[in-house]
Amino acid sequence: MTSNTVEIFDEDVRQRAREILARYPADRTRSALLPLLHLVQSVEGHVSPAGVEFCADVLGINKAQVGAVASFYTMYKRRPTGDYLVSVCTNTMCNVLGGQEVYDRLSEHLGVGHDETTEDGTITLEHAECLAACDYGPVLTVNYDFFDNVDPDTAVGLVEELRAGRRPQPSRGARLCTLKEMSLQLAGFPDTREGAVADGVPGEPTLRGLRLAQEHGIAVPGFDPNTPIKKKDDGASGQPATAAGAAAQPATAAGAAAQPATAAGAAANKPASDAKPAGDAPKPQEGTLRGAKEEAK
């Protein structure tokens, strides 16, 4: 480890790295690479060459292996990033609802383009392919916390609040934090701010399907939330070897009807004694054997 890396990542960071490694079996510590990358991003606001070197040294692997992972996932930023990463969804649904207009207005207002940061280091703007919140579109996220049903004016008002040092409340989820604070949480360390996760509730569109199901009495037949998870040693059948597991199987006509009602399906369920002798198997068609014959020549 170079002296520059030691200087950036002090003993507190190294102690946290040891805590991360302790979560994994001794022969599986390489799996700690993802939280370690979040940890180094919590220090510098991005994954720098020094951060790559630090992770490689902690895990005993080479820098190319670390860099391959850090460059694959978009949540790891490879160059300095603002305190607040503003991601505007411009994918199909949000775009139809005005997502591109939101992005264009922010880009013009902030004077930056995709993956660029404002001069004061506060905001990095980016296009987002999909934020998985189509029923709230257009949406944007600030450090991955949602702001729903935005328009160009509300988006500009939001970034101005951020630049003024305020932290507006997201539409859903916990209280807003900086990119470094968020990265530390993703590394597996709690947000110690008072009431940090006290806010935020599921939005009405998110609950709509559940409420419709309740209103109409729709449920999964035979569903048992206490069904145990299947284990490798539960027998050749692969089914959980417990009474609860057996009870979870629906004993209904619908269950029987789920079996393939075809000749192929029936044949697959015949006992071995009903199978035809090998000599009665149909012969391969001439077209099937032609290629083999030509190869033999």
CATH number for the domain including 52? Answer: 1.10.10
Using an 8 Å Cβ cutoff, are 170 and 176 in contact?
Answer: yes
pTM of the model: 0.69
Give tens-digit pLDDT for 171-220.
Answer: 987 889 999 999 999 999 998 888 787 777 777 888 888 889 889 988 88
Confidence at residue 283, expressed as pLDDT on a 0 to 100 scale? 54
- Same domain for 166 and 88, yes or no, is yes
Cα distance between the two ends of the chain: 63
Is pLDDT of 252 > 50? no
Instruction: Say what the pLDDT of residue 285 is.
Output: 53
* Cα–Cα distance measured from residue 10 to residue 15, given in angstroms and rounded to the nearest whole number: 9
- In this prediction, residue 3 carries a pLDDT of 65
Q: Based on the domain organization, do 120 and 167 belong to the same domain?
A: yes
CA distance 273 to 275: 6
Between the CA of residue 35 and those of 75, 82, 170, what are the distances in Å? 12, 20, 25
Sorting pLDDT into bands at 50, 70 and 90, what band is 16? very high
CA distance 174 to 194: 12
Residue with tokens 């934090």: 177
* Lowest-pLDDT range of 9-23, 91-105, 163-177, 220-234: 220-234
Query: What is the percent of the chain where pLDDT is above 90?
Result: 58
Supply the Cα-derived Rg of the chain in whole angstroms: 28
Q: Examine the domain organization and report whether 55 and 123 are in the same domain.
A: no
Residue 248 CA to residue 241 CA, distance in Å, equals: 12
> Which is more confidently placed, 138 or 5?
138
Assigned domain for 271 exists:
no
Would you say 156 and 123 are in contact if contact means Cβ atoms under 8 Å apart?
no
The side-by-side arrangement of strands in the sheet containing 145-147 is: 116-117, 123-128, 84-89, 140-142, 145-147
- For residues 296 and 59, the model is more confident at 59
Note whether residue 269 is domain-resident: no
Rounded Cα–Cα distance for residues 258 and 267 (Å) = 16
Model confidence band, residue 277 (pLDDT cutoffs 50, 70, 90): very low
For residue 138, is the peptide bond before it cis, meaning its omega torsion is within 30 degrees of 0?
A: yes
Of 146, 178, 210, which marks where a domain is finished?
178
Question: What's the domain count of the chain?
Answer: 2
Alpha-carbon distance of 40 to 295, in angstroms, equals 59
**Which structural domain, as residue segments, surrounds residue 89?**
84-178
Measure CA 74 to chain center.
11
Q: Report DSSP state, residue 239.
A: S
Does residue 290 form part of some domain?
Answer: no
* pLDDT tens for each residue of 107-128: 999 999 999 999 999 999 999 9
Same domain, 88 and 174: yes
Domain boundary among 178, 208, 240: 178
Residue 157 and residue 97 in one domain: yes
